[in-house]
């Protein structure tokens, strides 16, 4: 990155970063990442199509799963184009407006996914705590309202960031840390006072990822308390088994973010290529793994896939 003592601009050009030290072979290194993106798009598209067309899957848990698949597709669509431009076309330049737009959509879809995971935790809590009222509490109207609230929250929390970035000045050429644009990365490159931007970013994270993860933990504490109150060991195991899929995707969503945060603070400069790989995977692993987890753990999804296959064959 050019120094802030040199010419600055309100509309700079940002340069994407691939794998440091592996520029000559990054086409080959990027092949697994591109395959993950393609499989993620196909897997989540199949899940969405299956849930929409199969009446047997029009249940709260699967409707929330369709919301999760939609947010995963949005996240792939936000990150995949710049990866292709960089790794296969060698195009590093990204104008300010396009970078700010990508930043908005990446963070917005991340917050949507976090909100859907919280809604799914509520779904599991109601199903275990009060199964007789499950259908009356989680109606289609209630789920639509929850989905709308999650989407509105994601938009409102992320809308100020690109607007406030326009008041900042950057070096004419700024080098990003990844192959996509993130708010913290852009703020760190600015030559202007960024206290307001940093505060807005902190508030955004606190009222999204931090709040959602805390409420998910509270939900599982209440679920565990309810399960321990069940007399039959078999019923306890059956109740806990209904939470396994959701718990897996919660861990898949949050653990890579924690690992990337630790890596950035400990070994980012010692192993820059590893830091870039972790940064890519922390957005790519959840969309890739979520359909796989639910196809493996959900009997209804497997049966729906089989019915669709038999219909096509017939």
**d(C-alpha 200, C-alpha 161), whole Å:** 7
State the alpha helices, DSSP H only, in 134-180.
Answer: 134-137, 140-158, 160-165
C-beta neighbour count of 5 within 10 angstroms: 8
Name the more confident of 102 and 55: 102
Residue that has been written with the tokens 């900042």 in this structure: 168
Cα 119 versus chain centre, distance: 15
pLDDT exceeds cutoff 90 at 217: yes
Residue that has been written with the tokens 């326009």 in this structure: 166
Query: Among candidates 285, 241, 278, which has minimal Cα distance to 263?
Result: 278
Can you give the pLDDT at residue 299? 84
Mention every residue, 6+ apart, whose C-beta is less than 8 A from residue 71.
Answer: 109, 112, 113, 116
pLDDT exceeds cutoff 50 at 1: no
Out of 84-88, 93-97, 182-186, 273-277, pick the least confident.
Answer: 273-277
Task: Evaluate whether 166 touches 10 at the Cβ level (below 8 Å).
Answer: yes
The string of pLDDT tens digits covering residues 33-90 is 888 889 999 999 999 999 998 888 889 999 999 999 999 999 999 998 888 888 888 8
Can you give the pLDDT at residue 263? 63
Query: Would you say the pTM of this structure is higher than 0.85?
Result: yes
DSSP secondary structure letter of residue 208? I
**d(C-alpha 208, C-alpha 217), whole Å:** 14
Out of 80-89, 207-216, 222-231, 274-283, pick the least confident.
Answer: 274-283
Range of the domain at 85: 22-313
CATH of the domain at 90: 1.20.1070.10
Can you give the pLDDT at residue 55? 87
**d(C-alpha 140, C-alpha 307), whole Å:** 24
**Would you say residue 11 lies in a domain?**
no
**d(C-alpha 175, C-alpha 166), whole Å:** 18
**Would you say residue 2 lies in a domain?**
no
**Would you say residue 1 lies in a domain?**
no
Can you give the pLDDT at residue 270? 58
Name the more confident of 222 and 2: 222
pLDDT exceeds cutoff 60 at 2: no
**Would you say residue 7 lies in a domain?**
no
Can you give the pLDDT at residue 99? 93
Counting Cα atoms < 13 Å in the Cβ hemisphere of 108 gives 23
Domain count, the chain: 1
**d(C-alpha 212, C-alpha 114), whole Å:** 6
**Would you say residue 5 lies in a domain?**
no
**d(C-alpha 212, C-alpha 204), whole Å:** 12
Gyration radius of the chain's alpha carbons: 21
**Would you say residue 51 lies in a domain?**
yes
Percent with pLDDT over 90 in the chain:
51
**d(C-alpha 69, C-alpha 116), whole Å:** 10
Dihedral over Cα of 42, 46, 52, 53: its sign: positive
The string of pLDDT tens digits covering residues 122-133 is 999 999 998 889
Percent with pLDDT over 70 in the chain:
89
Mention every residue, 6+ apart, whose C-beta is less than 8 A from residue 249.
Answer: 68, 117, 286, 289, 290, 293, 294
Instruction: For residues 220-244, give the mean pLDDT.
Output: 89
**Would you say residue 133 lies in a domain?**
yes
**d(C-alpha 198, C-alpha 293), whole Å:** 36
Can you give the pLDDT at residue 114? 96
Name the more confident of 231 and 104: 104
Dihedral over Cα of 96, 102, 105, 106: its sign: negative
The string of pLDDT tens digits covering residues 235-293 is 888 888 889 999 999 999 998 887 766 665 555 555 666 667 777 778 888 999 999 99
């Amino acid at each position: 990155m050019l120094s802030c003592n040199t010419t600055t601009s309100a509309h700079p050009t940002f340069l994407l970063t691939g794998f440091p030290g592996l520029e000559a072979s990054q086409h080959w290194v990027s092949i697994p990442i591109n395959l993950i993106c393609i499989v993620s798009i196909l897997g989540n598209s199949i899940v969405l199509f299956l849930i929409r067309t199969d009446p047997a899957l029009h249940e709260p848990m699967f409707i929330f799963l369709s919301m999760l698949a939609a947010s995963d597709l949005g996240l792939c669509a936000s990150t995949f184009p710049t990866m292709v431009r960089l790794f296969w076309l060698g195009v590093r330049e990204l104008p300010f407006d396009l970078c700010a737009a990508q930043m908005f959509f990446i963070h917005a879809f991340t917050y949507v996914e976090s909100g859907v995971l919280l809604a799914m935790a509520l779904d599991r809590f109601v199903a275990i705590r009060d199964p007789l009222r499950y259908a009356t509490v989680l109606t289609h109207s209630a789920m639509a309202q929850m989905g709308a609230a999650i989407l509105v929250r994601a938009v409102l929390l992320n809308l100020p960031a690109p607007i406030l970035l326009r008041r900042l000045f950057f070096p004419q050429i700024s080098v990003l840390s990844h192959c996509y644009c993130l708010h913290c990365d852009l703020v760190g490159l600015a030559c202007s006072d960024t206290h307001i931007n940093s505060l807005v970013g902190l508030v955004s994270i606190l009222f999204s990822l931090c709040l959602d993860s805390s409420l998910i933990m509270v939900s599982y504490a209440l679920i565990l308390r309810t399960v321990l109150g069940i007399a039959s060991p078999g019923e306890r195991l059956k109740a806990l088994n209904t939470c396994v899929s959701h718990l897996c995707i919660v861990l898949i969503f949050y653990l890579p973010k924690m690992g990337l945060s630790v890596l950035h603070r400990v070994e980012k400069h010692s192993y820059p290529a590893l830091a870039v790989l972790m940064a890519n995977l922390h957005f790519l692993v959840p969309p890739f793994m979520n359909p796989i987890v639910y196809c493996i753990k959900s009997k209804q999804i497997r049966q729906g896939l089989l019915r669709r296959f038999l219909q096509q064959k017939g």
